[in-house]
Amino acid sequence: MRHTGFTVHDGLLLAQGLGVSLGLFAGTFALGLVLGSAAAVVRHFRVPALGAALHAGLELLRNSPVLVQLFLVFFGIPALIHQPLTPVVAAGVTLSANTAAFVYFIAVAGLDAVGRDQVEAARVYGFSRAQLVRHILAPQAAAFALGPLVGLAVNQLQVTSLVSVIGVMDLTKAGDILNLRTLRPFAVWTMVGALYFAAAKGLTLLGHHWERRLRAHAPPLGF
């Protein structure tokens, strides 16, 4: 007989799903941030062939649906390599690559905003490429890009809800299970939506706090 009342276990199920969603978001966003920023640096220094190839691949990722990418990784790649991927691995690969694509274009805009005269002056003083990135490009580009990155982070947190379609036990999947058991869709999806909202709002507030601190300490763009 179907039990239609809410129990304490339902709260634990939602909490577990929220933990999976937040963990998946944190891991894939961090990896995407590193990969996208590295690709932007490669493009900034005009590395032959590699820069163009990265730009083309990331452009494709940015302009194709995440759900299609997820299906391609989860169903398509295993068919080619004859090796199945777990839902979590497929979700991690897809979200990391998708995040990297958006981070790349944000980072490119941030690097391009740094005055070329500063770059040339640093080279005159003998800065290596690593020193140039660390002391000149990164601080100013980060101050420029942090606002868009906060918006991207909130969006990517919401995008994690798509991984439920391949069986990842995230917050959306937990909500689906709870809805099927209780037959109370309005109450269930209101709770799920409220949890996503709370997580996104907390992320936004934290991002704006970092943005204010970074802008207060970063040197101005240009001279």
Q: Say which residue, 137 or 56, is predicted with more confidence.
A: 56
Average pLDDT over residues 165-182: 94
Enter the pTM of the model.
Answer: 0.85
Mean pLDDT of the 66-84 span: 95
Average pLDDT over residues 111-140: 68
User: Average pLDDT, stretch 170-175?
Assistant: 96
- What are the pLDDT digits (tens) for 18-38? 999 999 999 999 999 999 999
Which pLDDT does position 221 carry in this prediction?
47
User: What are 138-160's pLDDT values in tens digits?
Assistant: 777 777 778 899 999 999 999 99
Domain ranges across the chain: 8-217
Mean pLDDT of 184-196: 95
pLDDT of residue 43: 84
Task: Collect all residues with Cβ–Cβ distance below 8 Å to 196 and sequence separation of at least 6.
Answer: 21, 157, 158, 161, 171
pLDDT > 70 fraction of the chain, expressed in percent and rounded: 83
Angle of CA points 29, 202, 17, to nearest 5°: 65
pLDDT of residue 222: 47
What is residue 213's three-state secondary structure?
helix
**Between vectors from CA 23 to CA 181 and to CA 110, what angle results, nearest 5°?**
130
Output the pLDDT for position 223. 41
Fold topology of 8-217:
MetI-like fold (1.10.3720)
Statement: residue 218 has pLDDT above 50: yes
pLDDT of residue 119: 63
Residues in the chain: 223
In angstroms, the CA 145 to CA 151 distance is: 10
What is the H or E stretch that residue 137 is in?
A: none
Q: Say how many C-beta atoms besides its own lie within 10 A of residue 56's C-beta.
A: 9
* Span 119-142, average pLDDT: 68
